[in-house]
Chain A
């Protein structure tokens, strides 16, 4: 193996979108196997520099890579020194160790321990990284002991609601009916969230190991991994991993020579957001339309095909093996009093360094946004952060010192959620944002219960009216009462949490709603009906770029003289704003 360098091409969404496939192809074309071993990995976290390569044994990241750069590197005979200039983080002179960089310094990797390090398609790689050690330990323990260990560790559901995992397992274990089933919920549907996909793509065996341990603890004979079909790579990887595990006797009858019989099956979901709700998900596995049903009875009593079923989210399952491996005390030492361990977030939005991050519970949101994420770019102001996607809420910058903790976030009106973290700056209109999430949910509601089906539609109409400047002050009260009805009256979690974005926006940014209503103005300059575009005479150089891009011919002016925008004709599409290199277009 001497002399062989390992290059891991990041295959996160951002990297693929920015050309990781082409980079990989070029690498495979140019480098012989004796020189480079090219593998794919899941999102390595530093999406700002996509596409990213990890170079081992040196252990650094480079990016953004291009086909051209690969060729240049190949020209040098794959000399790692050539990569130095593209190395990320760029400030490597001051921070020689990757781990010292602010993006990584605050992270604590438990679930993502193997990210970008192992080839997810090789079970041997996983095993070499202590994989299946937790299972080996669990097989030597009684089911009760395993559950006690999980309970003592304080692991809570990472899908968002934070129900104690050990208690859930115990409830299922206690039900007298058999067979019992396990489900891994990988129907990640929040806009901008990709934690579960990354885990399945990057470390599928972590999930499988967790589920086998769960099967031992609960006494389940069969498990299902419900992945949305929009995640083809995740589906492929988990399927391959299941086959590999079967080959090693880790799945099937008499696992590792014990009396444990357990097998896994992948079920591909059609991409309905509501199928992330456990009862809808189970209906979908059964081949029915993915519509939730009221609980109780809970899945632990009557789940799949009326049998006891334990559903956990991908990240929860991935936390199980580390707990068994390192002990509950180790896990409980991470995090806060009530929220233990770490949490994976996909940090996106108006932030310098976006990406997948894993932080210990209790870390202040501000640290995540400003240190890990490097703050808001272009000198704009950090305004708020949205956690939990359409089910969560926004937390204003003034409250950003709030710790990442189930209770604290719920108290602020948001939720932990499955891990989407969207950063917003002053150019984000909170009314528009609330409308965005409500629209998403109007589309994604299953339509079964009235408050969610009709209530959200009415809510969308009211918010649309606000963005058009058609609202009235009394409407705010009605909006709040409507939100309460949807919260209290809806059948499933989707509806019950649906008003959260609106309610938090109302709670923390009421003045923005008021200015839409009273002044007919959108302070963030987003709502098209309420803004006008004009040219700043002092900044305009008369380059004419705005004139050439305007699709409706609303911009006039001769070269090298100050241009003008015809407000009547202007559709506020913003094309000129985007094109202007001198920030000369003023949004009012």
Chain B
């Protein structure tokens, strides 16, 4: 429904429900604003967007006043201009303003470059925001030339102790964008307004540090700050971006859009961008970790060949010749390991090279989420109609979160669940460690790990049949009957979107995915596997798996062949010291003891031109934010190898060629990016549900250990090297119930050893009331740690 109003004499059409400001903006009429930020709820506090409206007293703020049919609005007049100027003067009287109104500011810009990087900002040249400050822009727009008040400097110490960003509230103008962002978009509540009147300040509850208050360090507050009050430590003195670039984060499979700021010498900062998935939000890893990984000191730019104990740099031709030679003459079986941090084009080319060039059925995605069980599940999902888009999540009647660590592996998915709950969508969390969505419309349904399949079956029966769970059944699953019944009620409200982590879907015996599949199918909902690194989905879809061909077609895993294996791999693949030859495609220089014979440098995710598929099956474009000399895209390497070995049909000497080859081969890829890879029609071909009994702990291994994934790195390089990250993701803990801790006589923080049949790992004890007695939870520290759910026993670490 549209309405008409008159703004500054111009007839304007607006949608019902729009504010006057939105209506004006739609018509291209600019009204100065400060506290308002698209995407955030309006506050009406800065008083710059005041307008005159016929029939209304005074000067209503356009950002909160609803546009009404027939309204006559004036955005400029002598009074309004004066009022705006005076209000801005008042705003500036609390902010070091010399940079805005100083007569010499141009000279200063030209000749005083060196006085940046001061600890305390007192004026333009030592403010990190100089040049991109919204106050500077507003002062220019409003034509402010002097401020009649002296600066009332607050003299608050600059807060620098927390990681990732600094806070200088002497520059804060209390617009409240950061507070609204933190409270209403991130639903976190670290930032709040403290005190009142002229003492009002942005602060944290009880004025604790951000680390103490449970800040996620997502940086969303920094993104919206109009002044230099909040600033990334890393890019603080880089100045305004010379250009920006929109790309996609690759650290998990959520596919968050982000903006990369580029300076003179390359990317300098990452900011949030766009709408998807969670209203343009990022997590700490994407926001503060991405560039760290890109610029890691261990980057390798020249091909290397092993000569004895050392790596020796060589030219591309030499390295490729050697690799091609080995691939031509060798008779042993080849294993090809693709990386989930590759773009689709690279994955496709590699898969082609494996199957057509090397004629091996062994092409595998080097991901913890690419086992046989996963391949089966994904193929079934594909035949069934695929996974829903984020837009469909928004329409879910109910959200279910299965698994113990979605909040850790995919923080943005967990944020989307919080946002859904905020909108009134019921959210049911099912796991054994009490990981819940902290809001009103959320329910935590704890259970014994391994019982997920049975619980799903019972839920399905209860929702469709209206039956209730018996006390005995409930006890067998470890769930409370009341909570179960509440969950049944909520599930009945509408088609659910079932989000499930790897520990539930495939990480246990028997795997729970067929049961969840049936549950989703019966309730006409969706099942979403929330797992995987950046392009995990793309890797499977493009057939980088012995059991999958491109486009979710089944493949014959074939016979591995005889002889010593030879490996063509990316660096996140397992290391095979017994291999006859390893050709490594690497972003980072492998450790000196790596058995690779040839190292071919490839491009980092952030340097790739191409596409990737996120966990909703959306093809997203990747744009390179830099192009270093040396490294090449993997499809290019495939092209060179094919040329040298005279393999026909793999002439991928340009991006267009590889793109065209994909378009012709793979359904879903015909029109390029932003499309979904799933077949549209839903076919009813549900997998059989295994009736195997879950493995119970006992005997020598009395504890059931559930593994989670921290996803804190890419290609074997961990984000834990980024200063501050260690506070947020500590993979070295094991969660244990207080009762068990008492039995084992271990205290919080004590070092213990978890021993299973497959090996042992060391961890620190974290006592958690919410976890189920007899079960443990820990994160996989590196991809080489044991994967499957294991029964373990615990010993105190010996004092060696």
Contacts and interface: CB of A to CB of B under 8 A. Distances in A.
Interface string B83-121: 100110011011000000000000000000000000000
A455 B90 contact: yes
B149 A450 contact: no
A450 B66 contact: no
A453 B197 contact: yes
A296 B66 contact: yes
A489 B83 contact: yes
B772 interface: no
A485 B83 contact: yes
A470 to B, nearest CB: 13
B66 A445 contact: no
Given A296-B65, A296-B66, A447-B193, A453 B198 contact: yes
Nearest to B42: A294
B86 A485 contact: yes
A456 B93 CA distance: 12
B50 A489 contact: yes
Contact of B59 (A293, A482, A488): A488
A485 B85 CA distance: 10
A220 to B, nearest CB: 24
B195 interface: yes
Contact of B86 (A443, A449, A481): A481
A287 interface: no
Contacts of A478: 148
A294 B41 CA distance: 13
A485 B87 contact: yes
A496 B58 contact: yes
Nearest to A481: B86
Contact of B47 (A272, A442, A449, A458): A449
DSSP majority for the B interface? Answer: loop
Contacts of A291: 193
B198 A454 contact: yes
Interface string A227-265: 000000000000000000000000000000000000000
B172 to A, nearest CB: 12
B197 A450 contact: no
A438 to B, nearest CB: 11
A491 B198 contact: no
Given A272-B196, A444-B197, A449-B47, A488 B83 contact: yes
B514 to A, nearest CB: 44
B197 A446 contact: yes
Contact of B200 (A441, A451, A453): A453
A456 B198 CA distance: 8
B595 interface: no
A482 B66 CA distance: 29
Interface in B182-241: 193, 195-200
B551 to A, nearest CB: 49
Contacts of A485: 83, 86-87, 90
A151 to B, nearest CB: 21
B45 interface: yes
A458 B197 contact: no
A297 B66 contact: yes
Interface residues of A, number: 35
A37 interface: no
B29 interface: no
Nearest to B173: A450
B64 A451 contact: no
Nearest to A441: B197
A214 to B, nearest CB: 25
Nearest to A482: B86
- Central interface residue in B44, B47, B65, by most chain A CB within 10 Å: B47
Interface string A276-289: 00000000000001
B694 interface: no
A457 interface: yes
B93 A449 contact: no
A445 B149 CA distance: 20
Given A485-B86, A491-B44, A450 B91 contact: yes
A490 interface: yes
Nearest to A297: B66
B43 interface: yes
A488 B58 contact: yes
Interface string B50-85: 100000001111001110000000000001000100
Contacts of A441: 197
B378 interface: no
A157 to B, nearest CB: 15
B313 interface: no
A442 B197 contact: yes
B198 A294 contact: no
A450 B198 contact: no
A445 B47 contact: no
A105 interface: no
A160 to B, nearest CB: 15
A478 B94 CA distance: 18
Given A442-B197, A447-B197, A447-B199, A454 B65 contact: no
A8 to B, nearest CB: 40
Interface string A288-325: 01010110110000000000000000000000000000
B785 interface: no
Given A293-B64, A451-B47, A457-B152, A489 B197 contact: no
Contacts of A539: none
Contacts of B148: 478
Interface in B2-53: 43-47, 50
A286 to B, nearest CB: 14
B408 interface: no
B787 interface: no
A488 B43 CA distance: 17
A330 to B, nearest CB: 32
Contacts of A490: 47
A145 interface: no
Contacts of B133: none
A451 B197 contact: no
A448 interface: yes
A294 B65 contact: yes
A451 B60 CA distance: 14
A255 B298 CA distance: 79
Given A450-B90, A454-B91, A489-B83, A445 B58 contact: no
B174 interface: yes
Contact of A447 (B58, B83, B174): B174
A291 B179 CA distance: 14
A489 B173 CA distance: 16
Interface string B729-765: 0000000000000000000000000000000000000
Interface string A336-371: 000000000000000000000000000000000000
Interface string B329-340: 000000000000
A448 B65 CA distance: 17
Given A450-B47, A450-B90, A294 B61 contact: yes
A294 B64 contact: yes
A410 to B, nearest CB: 13
A289 B43 CA distance: 14
Contacts of B65: 294, 296
Given A289-B193, A489-B59, A294 B90 contact: no
A441 B64 CA distance: 25
Contacts of A449: 44-47
B44 A293 contact: yes
Contacts of B64: 293-294
27 contacts: A289-B193, A291-B193, A293-B43, A293-B44, A294-B60, A294-B61, A294-B64, A444-B197, A445-B196, A447-B174, A447-B196, A448-B43, A448-B45, A449-B44, A450-B45, A450-B90, A450-B173, A450-B174, A451-B87, A453-B197, A455-B90, A478-B148, A488-B58, A488-B79, A489-B47, A491-B44, A491-B45
Q: Which 4 pairs across A and B sit closest by C-beta, in order of nearness? A: A447-B200, A294-B44, A485-B86, A445-B197
Interface of A: 272, 274, 289, 291, 293-294, 296-297, 441-451, 453-458, 478, 481-482, 484-485, 488-491, 496
